[in-house]
């Protein structure tokens, strides 16, 4: 028997070029679902507004990457259009899909999410920026970044001088700028060296940075086994971000069903250390029975704790809210 697993139908209106994501009654037959689709052809909501920031003449992109913030974009880019969708009865996941579709039509390489508005139980609007990722040649011609910290900014110059004198937090701050290409030419290898040395010296935040470099293959060959050891070093010393990423690495493992219990343990530790994202992720696992028995009451408790810790996103969640993903908090280097 046919069974509809989602009550969301996506349509595209060719006349005005808008994509619509609309909720329908659950349909348990092909005939009923066909009727729902026909009804949608006459009603379309959630239009994406587009404000072009510069000319862009490119064919539709086959794939558009979604970034939660500027710090998560791993190469130089330029903004080409501002996008916004309003859908009072929509969901975060649906609106991301709409913005992504529009960015793909424009020929953009990425969608940089910027802000959302919400009311209890719903997400009302979501905004983002369509971006074009620059290759090495384009990046060098578009903007020449400084090659040395002191040529980049006074702040990075202070970091370099303090780092040479043995100030470990300054070394991590300099490494963060080098890894992101912030004001200075990106040098992932040098950044990873700084993170590794600081972690070995016992600066726990550096262990998170170094573990993340290993997990992403930035400045070091990608190696989750070593990344786990590095994250564990930081987590064992109470570094909440290391505990969070330990859970994430295990949840992303190809063998996740066998190691999901370990992921839960580290996320629980991070939550106990007041990490709002980890509390939310535990709630989602319990809410949707991801590798654990479903428990709506405990899920609601974790959502509430995440909200109390400042994750506004979690304040509107109830069990079965059908929300897929909360943005990871950014790693913040010492300033």
297-308: average pLDDT: 92
* Average pLDDT score over residue span 13-23: 38
Residue 87's pLDDT is what? 75
Residues 162 and 291 in one domain: yes
The percentage of the chain sitting over the pLDDT mark of 90, rounded to a whole number, equals 34
Q: What is the CATH number of the domain that holds 140?
A: 3.30.110.70
Residues 162, 243: one domain? yes
Q: Please state the pTM of the whole predicted model.
A: 0.57
Q: Are residues 226 and 254 in the same domain?
A: yes
Provide the domain count of the chain. 3
Residue 310 and residue 196 share a domain: yes
Report the SS3 class of residue 10: strand
Q: Which of 214, 210, 217, 164 is nearest to 333 (CA)?
A: 210
Residue 321 lies in a domain: no
Residue 334 lies in a domain: no
Place of tokens 């400042």: 310
Distances in Å between the Cα of 68 and the Cα atoms of 13, 95, 127 are 28, 14, 11
pLDDT surpasses 90 at 217: no
The more confidently predicted of residues 5 and 288 is: 288
Lowest mean pLDDT among 128-137, 212-221, 227-236, 279-288: 128-137
Of 134 and 291, the one with more pLDDT: 291
Instruction: Give the Cα separation of 265 and 325 in Å (integer).
Output: 20
222 shares a domain with 287: yes
Quick check: 6 pLDDT over 50? no
Rounded Cα gap, residues 86 and 89, in angstroms = 9
Asked, for residue 325, whether it belongs to a domain, the answer is no
Q: Largest Cα–Cα distance of the chain, in whole Å?
A: 74
**DSSP reduced 3-state for 199:** helix
Do 139 and 189 have their domain in common?
Answer: no
pLDDT (0 to 100) of residue 23: 37
- Boundaries of domain holding 91: 48-144
DSSP-derived 3-state class of residue 109:
coil
Q: Distance of CA 31 to CAs 3, 27, 34, 129, Å?
A: 12, 8, 5, 39
Which DSSP letter does residue 167 get?
-
Q: What is the pLDDT of residues 111-132, one digit of tens each?
A: 888 777 655 545 678 888 988 8
pLDDT at position 142 is 46
**For position 191, which CATH number holds?**
1.25.40.10
């Amino acid at each position: 028997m046919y069974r509809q697993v989602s009550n969301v139908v996506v349509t595209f209106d060719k006349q005005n070029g808008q994509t619509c994501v609309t909720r329908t009654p659950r349909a348990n037959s092909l005939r009923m679902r066909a009727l729902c689709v026909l009804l949608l052809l006459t009603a379309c909501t959630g239009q994406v507004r587009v404000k072009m920031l510069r000319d862009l003449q490119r064919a539709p992109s086959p794939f558009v990457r979604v970034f939660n913030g500027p710090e998560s974009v791993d190469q130089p880019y330029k903004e080409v259009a501002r996008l916004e969708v309003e859908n009072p009865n929509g969901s975060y996941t649906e609106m991301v899909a709409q913005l992504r579709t529009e960015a793909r039509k424009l020929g953009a390489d990425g969608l940089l999410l910027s802000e959302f508005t919400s009311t209890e139980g719903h997400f009302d609007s979501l905004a983002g920026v369509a971006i074009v990722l620059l290759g090495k040649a384009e990046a060098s011609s578009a903007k020449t970044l400084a090659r040395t910290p002191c040529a980049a900014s006074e702040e990075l110059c202070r970091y370099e001088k303090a780092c040479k004198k043995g100030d470990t937090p300054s070394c991590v701050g300099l490494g963060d700028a080098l890894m992101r290409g912030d004001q200075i030419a990106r040098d992932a290898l040098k950044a990873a060296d700084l993170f590794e040395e600081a972690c070995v010296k016992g600066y726990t935040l550096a262990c998170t940075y170094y573990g993340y470099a290993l997990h992403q293959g930035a400045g070091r060959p990608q190696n989750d086994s070593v990344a786990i050891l590095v994250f564990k070093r930081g987590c064992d010393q109470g570094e909440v971000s290391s505990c969070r990423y330990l859970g994430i690495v295990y949840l992303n493992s190809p063998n996740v069903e066998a190691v999901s219990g370990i992921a839960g343990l580290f996320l629980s530790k991070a939550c106990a250390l007041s990490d709002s994202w980890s509390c939310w992720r535990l709630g989602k696992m319990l809410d949707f029975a991801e590798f654990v028995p479903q428990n709506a009451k405990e899920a609601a408790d974790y959502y509430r704790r995440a909200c109390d810790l400042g994750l506004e996103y979690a304040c509107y969640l109830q069990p079965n809210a059908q929300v897929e993903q909360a943005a990871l908090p950014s790693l913040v280097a010492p300033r």
